[in-house]
Amino acid sequence: MTIKIPSVTIQGMDQKYIAGEKKGVIMTEKGLKIATIGGGSSYTPELIEGFIKRYEELPVKDIYLVDIEEGKEKLSIVSALAQRMVDKSGCDIRIHSTLDREEALRDADFVTTQFRIGQLEARIRDEKIPLRYHAIGQETTGAGGFANALRTVPAILDICKDIERLCPDAWLINFSNPSGLVTEAVLNHTKVKAIGLCNAPIGVQNDVAKLFGCDAEDVYCDFVGINHLFWVQKVMIKGKDVTEETIGRIVKEGKAGKLANIPDIDFPGSFIRSLGMLPISYLKYYYLADQMLEECIEAAGTKGTRGEVVRKVEEELFELYKDENLAVKPPQLASRGGAHYSDAACSLINSIYNNKGDIQTVNVLNRGTNLDLPEDAVIERNCVIDKAGAHPIHLGHTPEKARGLLQIVKNYEQLTIKAAITGDYDLALQALTIHPLVPSATAAEKMLDDIIRENAAYLPAFAERK
């Protein structure tokens, strides 16, 4: 989702970042090579659809879908569907299915990452471990997100070593969760050019468009925060400030940034009015923690955690994908959650390649954009996208009502990255303890011990330090 607005101040737009100056700017007439890590994901058909839609201006020639041995069957099914989609479109795109990451990465122009270490079984553990200690279990925030990060950070850094060696000029577009934290690890610990993505900003923009009965392209939301922890401090439609009206309509209609993968509990109208901003749905875990915990506990005992629900959805999706007559992205994919992730990736790649200078909301280094966060922190911010990358629009200070929560969660993220890289138990314990969704240091220690024990196969750094 992109939109152009006039008169923006771009943070860090010095000679080092001017389009055409930075090493690795794509200036090629050959067909593009895309490598997708986690190619057997159920999201891949949306990625393929995105490239097909943009084929006239984005000359993708080869798409390498790569996965691990455990994902071989899903990779085969998804690759066959991708080939049928391309064949039906008439686009001259070649689909390659491989378990050889080096083959996929060699000379790639863009790399997209959509993997989950430990697959859905690990996600389900992430959700259930916190519940043992009366804490919210969720895949990207709290103790669940922490466990996910411990597994994912070492894996993404290992992938980046291959990128540095095999395609050093490639752009990495990451939407492996927790996306902002993972992207921060890449940008601060590798030489890879990376931008993180999330579908939530697009979801908010679409919700506002539905609220006003207009096209999403007419909506501009001024996002402030980090991945899965952001607020919309201003809403504009065709250049007109409609923030107060938007809040009024949301309070009246009870609709505020609902996402398919988050329980449908409404923020109190009085709370949204007092906040004066639009909160993303993930903020329910913080602002409505008691209700969300009850919902997590009830779901785990009845229909299952979100991961267990997704496992059933994926089983149904892959049965659909097997149909040799299917040659389009099925509408049932929307029930998977995470809609628009892949389309956002295609839009971002298109804007980099074609030097569009449009505005998209992505995860990038702060570099003074938000004066209340460290320079090396990754933020989720409206950015101007061109062939030199993503340039965040200057923010200044975070609104006071959001500042404290934002700072403590960012502190948690930065400690978690250090712990994931070093395997330092003490750092990990401190990171988990300060997270607002962890009830106490005692609970944090018990959860950490469970996380390390039950993820031992994926946490070699911690094993080495024993």
Residue type, 326: L
Are residues 140 and 182 in contact, defined by beta-carbon separation less than 8 angstroms?
A: no
Instruction: Look at residue 13 in the predicted model and tell me its pLDDT.
Output: 44
Q: What is the pLDDT of residue 58?
A: 97
Predicted pLDDT at 261: 64
Residue 192 to residues 111, 165, 332, 369: CA-CA distances in angstroms? 11, 10, 35, 21
Dist CA 392 CA 376 (whole Å): 13
Mean pLDDT of all residues in 135-147: 96
**Which pair of structure tokens corresponds to residue 153?**
């950070």
The closest alpha carbon to 257, from 284, 282, 276, 280, belongs to 280
Cα dihedral 285, 288, 292, 294 in deg (nearest 10): 140
**Which residues have C-beta within 8 Å of that of residue 49, sequence separation ≥ 6?**
85, 328, 329, 342, 343
Tokens linked to 441: 């240091």
Beta bridge pairs of residue 221? 235
The tokens of 70 are what? 């455990």
Helix (H, G, I), strand (E, B) or coil at 213: coil
Instruction: Pick the catalytic residue from 43, 64, 133, 282.
Output: 282
What average pLDDT does range 106-134 have in this prediction? 97
Of 217, 256, 257, 219, give the one whose Cα is nearest residue 236.
Answer: 219
Q: In 3D, which of 250, 246, 284 has the Cα closest to residue 264? A: 284
What's the pLDDT tens digit per position in 348-382? 999 999 999 999 999 999 999 999 999 999 999 99
Looking at residue 9, the DSSP 8-state letter turns out to be P
User: Interhelix angle for 400-422 vs 179-189, to 10°?
Assistant: 60
pLDDT digits (tens, 9 = 90+) for 217-249: 999 999 999 999 999 999 999 999 999 999 999
CA distance 348 to 158: 24
Q: Does 43 qualify as catalytic in the annotation?
A: no
Distance CA 32, CA 126 (A): 37
With beta carbons less than 8 A apart as the criterion, state whether 50 and 347 touch.
Answer: yes
**What is the rounded CA–CA span in Å between residue 282 and residue 305?**
16
| Out of 257-261, 271-275, 458-462, least confident range | 257-261
User: Among 130-144, 263-277, 399-413, which stretch is predicted with the lowest mean pLDDT?
Assistant: 263-277
Domains of the chain, by residue range, sit at: 415-461
* Termini Cα distance of the chain: 47
Q: Give the 3-state secondary structure of residue 192.
A: coil
